[in-house]
């Protein structure tokens, strides 16, 4: 996301001296889109960090249940993937 924002800023800088109503309008829309993207990225990042903290607390409070859930999910995924591979080979 940061690379995309940097590229958009570079494009805005490169077209700063280009005249024209359409170019100016496009630059304004791009600048607004970059700003909205940064805001959304910041909110999503904060939510992800908060979710990771909550998950860490729950796992620390209930380690055996977390291990059991992890093993169960892994077993189900393994079964589904193995069944899918077997169907492809038939």
> Can you give the residue ranges of every domain in the chain?
2-89
What pTM was computed for the model? 0.56
Percent of the chain with pLDDT over 70: 89
The Cα–Cα gap between 89 and 40 comes to 44
Q: Is the pLDDT of residue 52 over 80?
A: yes
Predicted pLDDT of residue 1:
67
Distant-in-sequence, close-in-space partners of 4: CB < 8 Å, separation ≥ 6: 37
Contact yes or no for 30/8 (Cβ under 8 A): yes
Instruction: Tell me the C-alpha to C-alpha distance, in Å, between residue 23 and each of 9, 12, 19.
Output: 15, 10, 7
């Amino acid at each position: 996301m940061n690379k995309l924002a940097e590229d958009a800023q570079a494009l805005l800088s490169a077209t700063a001296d280009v005249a024209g109503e359409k170019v100016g309008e496009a630059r304004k829309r791009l600048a607004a889109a970059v700003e909205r993207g940064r805001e959304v990225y910041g909110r999503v990042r904060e939510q992800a960090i908060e979710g990771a903290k909550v998950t860490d607390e729950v796992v620390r409070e209930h380690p055996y249940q977390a291990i059991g859930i992890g093993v169960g999910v892994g077993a189900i995924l393994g079964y589904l993937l193995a069944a899918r591979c077997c169907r492809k080979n038939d």
